[in-house]
Chain A
Amino acid sequence: MPYILHSLPYFVAAWLFFCGLYGLVTSRHLIHSVICLAILQSSTYVLLLAIGYRVGGAAPIFADIPPGTVTVDPVVQALMLTDVVVEAVVVALLLAMVVKAYEKSGCVSPSDLRTMRG
């Protein structure tokens, strides 16, 4: 039991991934699917954070602790910063495409978009 509890972050990441993917597959509104994509992308945050953590480590900011204290991994946090930026940017571009598709075709559900063509 304690071994499974120590893998809890990895399974929470998998649960979020499958939630987002399920929402994306069975969505009936284009903006709902964009939000589910954001949930899908945030499962990687949990995974990266879990890999870089060290029990008893401090935050890697040496403004008030002496350099040399045991900290958590700062490289993974730099990767996560880039990840957060990319999520915001991808959602902005996808929303622009959704708005344009709605203005051109008038329907808002992904399965209806197929039938309106030409």
Chain B
Amino acid sequence: MNERLRLGIFLVAGPVFLGLYSYAALNLPPWGQYRGPYGDLIAKLAVYERHATDTVNAINYDYRGFDTLGEEFILFTAVIGVTMLLRRQKDVPSSPAGKVADRPPLSESVRAVISPAILITTIFGFYIGLHGQLTPGGGFQAGVILATGSVLVYLAANTQAFKRITSHVAVEVIEAIGAASYAVIGIVPLLIGLPLLTNILPLGTTGDVLSAGTIALISACVGIEVTAAFLLVIYTYLEEIVTGEIPEE
């Protein structure tokens, strides 16, 4: 279908959808007057039932933990897809891994600023990941922070250092361990006789780092998996540029 047909269909269907949507939006309850019972119930009970002060993460990893399990496997599958699409086949001959454009490192002032920045980013990533059940944060945010912190290494040093962090087989194994341990934490209550993903660890005192049972553990596993997943994606995009081996068609 060519462009004019696409635009024509859009111009016809758009106003119809807009009309129906406006009718719906003007008949919703007025903005700012949320009256649903489920949210208020969880906000009242989450601190007492789970000893976790961050209600959103308690919902994500405990009350609706099964949905988050599916979301982690979405991430896992998509990373499999990316690496399968972009990875070089082993039997395609490639020009020798000669001249990587290992450009001279950036100026001294940039490197002087990036080195403490890498340190602070890593510490901050670990802090956010460990305090998932207390303050806003959790596993996923920590994983993305740590993974994008590795690109600072690519900026500060040459590509050799970046290759050393990311191209190892260990990154793939770590990602698989992260995804599998979430599933194992879910299956262990089944062996005892409780429903899937029940919170069976001791709950601890509210406000501690080691509180809220399996929420902290699941948050850490999710953080490990997300870090490794994003590192793999970044390395797969950069592989030809970093290693210098170009496949011949």
Contact = CB atoms under 8 A, between A and B. Distances in A.
- The answer to whether A and B touch directly, with their CB atoms under 8 angstroms apart, is yes
Interface in B2-29: 2-3, 6-7, 10, 14, 18, 21-22, 25-26, 28
30 contacts: A6-B32, A7-B25, A7-B26, A9-B31, A10-B31, A14-B21, A14-B25, A22-B10, A50-B31, A51-B28, A52-B39, A53-B31, A61-B54, A62-B46, A63-B135, A67-B48, A73-B34, A74-B43, A74-B46, A75-B38, A78-B64, A85-B75, A86-B71, A88-B144, A89-B75, A89-B78, A93-B78, A96-B81, A96-B82, A96-B236
The 9 closest A-B pairs by CB, nearest first: A73-B39, A55-B32, A10-B25, A78-B59, A60-B55, A67-B47, A74-B55, A89-B78, A96-B82
Interface of A: 3, 6-11, 14, 18, 21-22, 25-26, 50-55, 57, 60-63, 67-68, 71-78, 81-82, 85-86, 88-90, 92-93, 95-97, 99-100, 111
Nearest to B14: A18
B25 A54 contact: no
Contacts of B21: 14
B102 interface: no
B233 A92 contact: yes
Interface of B: 2-3, 6-7, 10, 14, 18, 21-22, 25-26, 28, 30-34, 36, 38-39, 42-44, 46-48, 53-56, 59-60, 64, 67-68, 71, 74-75, 78-79, 81-82, 85-86, 134-136, 140, 144, 207, 233, 236-237
Contacts of B71: 82, 85-86
A55 B35 CA distance: 11
A66 B236 CA distance: 47
B55 A62 contact: yes
A10 B60 contact: no
Contacts of B207: 63
Given A55-B33, A74-B56, A21 B39 contact: no
A15 B164 CA distance: 46
A87 to B, nearest CB: 11
B33 A18 contact: no
